């Protein structure tokens, strides 16, 4: 054993505790979202003291103050005061910059980032089940995160989908906008709460849409949203009760961020091939991943987050049956997706030029 270098020891301890700082501050972000603190700061015309923020949110000032100190020292919310200008605790004022509003408080912004924080308690509660999963190899599906888990997924993906699916993604796929405009059959597999398919249903009234998911909580959300929308050209099913058609009858199939979560992704690709028309199109949207751990670690600054979420959520879902393939969050690189699609009987595979912070988009045809 070589001797401990005291400077390296300090730096390593600091590195470790920055992770704990991130975890604890993430909990505070969850509270800021859930308790309406970010919304109140975003709606205020002027920077607010913690008394004003507590009044606006009907919360206790002492707790709001400690929360605001966490958030401002983490530089997630802004403060008007510098230490020397702040002689009294009650003088500190807090506000959100336009960028902070977009990410923390505006669900209509494509940059809105509260979805993963919404489901943070459920994601972290999965830790309790992990020792058993590490021993048995068997993980837990999305419903193990309860109804709020489904809402968190919905809030994670819906803002970007609302901003980009119709005007950016659909036009990038060869011939699909015309097909949907004139009337096509569409399936969205792993549809979650149905945000994408309801949006397409609204924009393309001559087409018919079916969403499939195995999550009861996601399907319940989807049913509520369908009722609220009044749309008649959209329905939702659990594919274990009402499987995908096997007669090559569907024009367009979409899978958004879900193939890597599936216990049997290769079988799903065969099912998609059997459902699609010979001239049909599959839009595969999945996490931008490299082929190896080394490349992911080197090129993706979010790799630690993604591998951790994989253990707690994506890979856990993909291992939720004893024979699960277990791809996980970074398990479907472009080359892996292409070779799996070709093994399932597809011959055309094209990566679309669509800018997204975490996802890649592929147009795949028989």
Ligand X SMILES: C[S@@+](CC[C@H](N)C(=O)[O-])C[C@H]1O[C@@H](n2cnc3c(N)ncnc32)[C@H](O)[C@@H]1O
Residue 71: which residues within 8 A CB-CB, separation 6 or more? 25, 28, 29, 32, 77, 94
- For residue 114, state whether it binds ligand X (rule: CB under 6 A): no
d(CA 303, CA 203): 36
CA distance 293 to 351: 22
- To the nearest whole angstrom, how small is the minimum distance from the Cβ of residue 248 to ligand X? 20
Site for ligand X in 203-242 (CB under 6 A): 212-215, 218, 239
- Scanning 40-48, 86-94, 189-197, 222-230 for contacts with ligand X by CB under 6 A, the matching segment is 189-197
Q: Decide if residue 92 touches ligand X (CB under 6 A).
A: no
For 176, residues 6+ apart whose C-beta sits below 8 A from its C-beta are: 170, 184, 252, 281, 283
Give me the 137-156 binding string for ligand X, x by CB under 6 A, dash otherwise: -----x----------xx--
Long-range CB pairs of 298-301 (<8 Å, 24+ gap) are: 300/330
In b/e form, how buried is each residue of 128-143, taking b as 16+ CB within 10 angstroms?
eeeeebeeeeebbbbb
Residue 118 C-alpha from the chain's centroid: 11
Of the pair 95, 361, the CB lying nearest ligand X is at 361
Q: How far apart are CA 129 and CA 317, in angstroms?
A: 13
Site membership for ligand X, residue 257 (CB under 6 A):
yes
Give Dmax over CA atoms of the chain in angstroms.
Answer: 74
Cβ nearer to ligand X, comparing 92 with 154: 154
Closer residue to ligand X (CB): 41 or 176: 176
Report residue 52 as tokens: 């004003």
d(CA 11, CA 13): 5
Pairing relationship of beta strands 208-212 and 234-237 according to DSSP bridges: parallel
Shortest Cβ 166–ligand X spacing (Å): 15
The minimum distance between CB 259 and ligand X, in angstroms, equals 8
Residues 36, 190, 201, 328: which binds ligand X (CB under 6 A)?
190
> In whole angstroms, how close is the CB of 337 to ligand X at the nearest point?
16
Q: CA-to-CA distance for 186 and 211, rounded, in angstroms?
A: 9
Q: Binding of ligand X at residue 286 (CB under 6 A)?
A: no
Among 126, 262, 319, 327, interactor with ligand X by CB under 6 A: 262
When the beta carbons of 220 and 338 are compared against ligand X, the nearer one is: 220
Which tokens is 97 given? 């910059």
- Is 47 one of the binding residues for ligand X (CB under 6 A)? no
Options 256, 307, 361, 362; binder of ligand X; rule CB under 6 A: 256
Which stretch in 1-9, 74-82, 96-104, 188-196 sits in contact with ligand X by CB under 6 A?
188-196
37 in contact with ligand X (CB under 6 A): no
Interface size with ligand X, residues (CB under 6 A): 22
Q: CB under 6 A: which stretch of 13-21, 185-193, 328-336, 343-351 binds ligand X?
A: 185-193
Return the closest-CA partner of residue 350 out of 281, 262, 295, 257: 281
Nearer Cβ to ligand X (68/283): 283
Kindly state the DSSP code that residue 144 receives in the 8-state scheme: G
Tokens representing residue 126 in the block: 């999965």
Q: How far is the CB of 239 from ligand X (least distance, A)?
A: 5
Residues that bind ligand X (CB under 6 A): 142, 153-154, 157, 189-192, 195, 212-215, 218, 239, 256-258, 261-262, 268, 317
């Amino acid at each position: 054993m070589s001797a401990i270098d005291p400077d390296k020891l300090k730096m390593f301890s600091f590195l470790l505790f920055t992770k704990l700082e991130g975890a604890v501050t993430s909990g505070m972000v969850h509270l800021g979202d859930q308790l309406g603190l970010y919304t109140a700061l975003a709606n205020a015309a002027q920077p607010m003291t913690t008394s004003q923020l507590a009044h606006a949110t009907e919360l206790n000032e002492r707790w709001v103050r400690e929360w605001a100190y966490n958030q401002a020292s983490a530089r997630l919310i802004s403060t008007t005061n510098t230490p020397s200008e702040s002689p009294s605790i009650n003088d500190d004022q807090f506000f959100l910059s336009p960028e902070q509003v977009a990410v923390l408080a505006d669900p209509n912004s494509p940059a809105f980032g509260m979805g993963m924080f919404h489901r943070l308690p459920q994601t972290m509660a999965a830790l309790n089940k992990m020792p058993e999963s590490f021993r048995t190899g068997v993980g837990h599906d999305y419903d193990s995160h309860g109804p709020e888990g489904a809402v968190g997924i919905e809030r994670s993906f819906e803002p970007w989908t609302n901003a980009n699916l119709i005007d950016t993604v659909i036009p990038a796929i060869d011939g699909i906008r015309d097909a949907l405009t004139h009337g096509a059959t569409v399936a969205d597999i792993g549809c979650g709460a149905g945000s994408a398919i309801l949006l397409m249903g609204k924009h393309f009234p001559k087409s018919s849409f079916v969403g499939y998911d195995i999550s009861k909580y996601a399907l319940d959300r989807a049913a509520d949203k369908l009722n609220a929308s009044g749309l008649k050209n959209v329905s939702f099913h659990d594919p274990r009760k009402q499987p995908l058609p096997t007669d090559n009858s569907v024009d367009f199939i979409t899978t958004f961020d879900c193939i890597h979560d599936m216990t049997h992704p290769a079988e799903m690709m065969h099912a998609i091939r059997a459902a699609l028309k010979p001239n049909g199109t599959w839009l595969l949207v999945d996490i931008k991943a490299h082929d190896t751990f080394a490349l992911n670690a080197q090129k993706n600054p979010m790799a630690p987050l993604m591998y951790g979420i994989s253990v707690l959520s994506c890979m856990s879902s993909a291992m939720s049956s004893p024979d699960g393939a277990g791809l996980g969050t970074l398990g479907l690189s472009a080359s892996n997706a292409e070779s799996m699609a070709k093994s399932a009987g597809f011959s055309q595979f094209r990566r679309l030029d669509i800018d997204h912070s975490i996802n890649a988009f592929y147009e795949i045809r028989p």
